[in-house]
């Protein structure tokens, strides 16, 4: 049976009390972005109110306070990932930027013409296009490990797709379309046995499970704060120290170069500063650290079980409806369910749900080759987070039932719920 989180968490999220033209938000688009709890808002507010300054530059009191907050935040991120050292944590603006940094700054060094970069058949465009570009620029070959007949990651297909020319493997930890979980540890073990570096796109994983980069043995791990109850505009690249030592910065400038010259050598900072040219997003780091505290206070495994239980209930309820197809077979999933109503375009289902205050994502979910491979024009994606309730899942199911019956019922079950 679906579990409710022990604490009353909804009250922590001001936006959930917003009025959407008389409706209360039923926010089931957490895979796109999550909302931000008061604890994170307060931490960012407190930072700007008490400690704001640029970091690592001034000798003045506020500069030192800001620097202290900044260092503490990096250490918090290290602990969240169980990385060996804070120096292995590089701050970026997003998962997308993190993957691009690895592709440009590392991929270009380890990949040459005729080599292969291997990704899976379910990747988000952000873990596809940086590798495609790398291959186009170096003459390497982009290979795709096929998904199984349910559109799920297949360790066998990875094993079979690895060759003597494979230099890099890039894979999503959790699919943003179906919520299915890739066997990252097994893939890494296989790849490492052949000296291949593994890059993990953790964008959809960090909010739903404990991620221990040493246990996974990921060489690089990328994620975004805005999908785990933190602020927008900040992401993380974790990299093993030995790899960061080889990574070339994409951006150069202040902060990463304590001393520069017109024609002689410059003094370049060691990792992670080397990859963080320009003034850092300290408020974002403080907010991300607070989001990590928030998740860990609730317990990441408890949150993951909650989200997976809601997804399981949604799968069950939607599958029981005539004319509704739910994709993927794996259970439990990372809080994501993709489905379609026969004969109804996913955008129409999405608009129908929106009329009742239910937010879902519709379309190809920035994973168009994968959605194509399923033979779909798109799907409706409901994605659950820690503040969602069983009542909201039931509402989704009831609302899809009315879509299936030909839409726009005035006696929608939401009326009751939304006014409550
Ligand atoms: N990878 C996956 C699996 C994602 O779901 C997303 C976000 N939709 C990204 C990468 C990109 O994340 P961001 O837009 O925060 O860079």
Q: What are phi and psi of 38, to 5 degrees?
A: -50, -40
- The pTM is what? 0.95
Mean pLDDT of all residues in 354-380 = 92
Question: Atom 6, ligand 1: which residue's CA is nearest?
Answer: 203
Cα 304 to its chain centre, rounded Å, is 14
In ligand 1, which atom is closest to the CA atom of 97?
A: 16
DSSP H helical ranges for 91-209 = 95-102, 108-110, 129-138, 155-161, 184-192
Distance (Å, rounded) from C-alpha 186 to C-alpha 79?
Answer: 23
The per-residue pLDDT for 398 is 95
The per-residue pLDDT for 321 is 96
**Tens of pLDDT, residues 144-168:** 999 988 888 888 999 999 999 999 9
Buried b (16+ CB within 10 A) or exposed e, 309-323: bbbbbbbebbeebee
Burial of 102 from C-beta contacts in 10 A (0-12 / 13-18 / 19+): buried
Per the DSSP assignment, residues forming a β-bridge with 339 are 326, 380
Residues labelled catalytic: 366
**Tens of pLDDT, residues 284-306:** 999 999 999 999 999 999 999 99
The overall average pLDDT reported for the chain is: 92
Helix (H/G/I), strand (E/B), else coil: 39: helix
Question: Atom 5, ligand 1: which residue's CA is nearest?
Answer: 176
Of the candidates 127, 137, 136, which has an alpha carbon nearest to the alpha carbon of residue 99?
127
Using only the alpha carbons of the chain, give its radius of gyration: 22
In ligand 1, which atom is closest to the CA atom of 96?
A: 16
Of the candidates 304, 368, 355, which has an alpha carbon nearest to the alpha carbon of residue 125?
368
* ipTM summary value: 0.99
Distance 202 CA to ligand 1 centre (A): 8
Distance (Å, rounded) from C-alpha 166 to C-alpha 163?
Answer: 5
Distance 95 CA to ligand 1 centre (A): 6
Of the candidates 99, 100, 76, 108, which has an alpha carbon nearest to the alpha carbon of residue 89?
76
């Amino acid at each position: 049976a679906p579990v409710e989180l022990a604490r009353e968490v909804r009250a922590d999220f001001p936006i959930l009390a917003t009025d959407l033209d008389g409706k209360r938000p039923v926010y089931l688009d957490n895979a796109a972005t999550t909302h931000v709890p008061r604890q994170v808002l307060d931490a960012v507010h407190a930072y700007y109110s008490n400690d704001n300054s640029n970091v690592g530059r001034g000798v003045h009191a506020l500069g030192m306070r800001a620097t202290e907050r900044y260092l503490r935040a990096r250490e918090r991120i290290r602990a969240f990932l169980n990385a060996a050292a804070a120096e292995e944590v590089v701050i970026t603006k997003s998962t997308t930027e993190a993957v691009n940094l690895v592709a440009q700054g590392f991929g270009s060094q380890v990949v040459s013409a005729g080599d292969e970069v291997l990704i899976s058949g379910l990747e988000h465009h952000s873990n596809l296009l940086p590798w495609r570009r790398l291959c186009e620029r170096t003459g390497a070959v982009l290979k795709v490990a096929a998904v199984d007949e349910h559109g799920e990651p297949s360790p066998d297909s990875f094993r079979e797709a690895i060759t003597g020319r494979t230099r890099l493997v890039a894979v999503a930890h959790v699919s943003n379309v179906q919520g299915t979980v890739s066997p990252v540890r097994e893939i890494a073990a296989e790849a490492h046995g052949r000296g291949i570096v593994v890059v993990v796109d953790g964008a959809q994983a960090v909010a739903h499970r404990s991620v221990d980069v040493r246990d996974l043995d990921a060489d690089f791990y990328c994620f975004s704060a805005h999908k785990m109850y933190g602020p927008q505009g900040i992401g993380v690249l974790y990299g093993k120290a030995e790899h960061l030592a080889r990574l070339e910065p994409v951006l150069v400038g202040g902060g990463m170069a304590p001393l520069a010259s017109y024609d002689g050598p410059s003094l370049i900072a060691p990792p992670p500063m080397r990859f963080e040219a320009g003034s850092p997003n300290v408020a974002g780091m403080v907010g991300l650290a607070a989001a990590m505290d928030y998740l860990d206070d609730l317990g990441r495994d408890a949150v993951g079980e909650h989200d997976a239980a809601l997804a399981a209930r949604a799968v069950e309820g939607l599958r029981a409806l005539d004319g509704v197809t739910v994709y993927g077979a794996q259970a439990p999933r990372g809080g994501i369910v993709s489905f379609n109503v026969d004969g109804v375009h996913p955008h129409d289902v999405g608009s129908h749900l929106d009329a009742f205050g239910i937010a879902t994502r519709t379309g190809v979910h920035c994973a168009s080759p994968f959605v194509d491979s399923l033979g779909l024009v798109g799907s409706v994606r409901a994605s659950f987070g820690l503040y969602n309730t069983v009542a909201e899942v039931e509402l989704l199911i009831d609302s899809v039932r009315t879509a299936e019956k030909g839409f726009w019922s005035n006696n929608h079950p939401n009326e009751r719920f939304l006014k409550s």
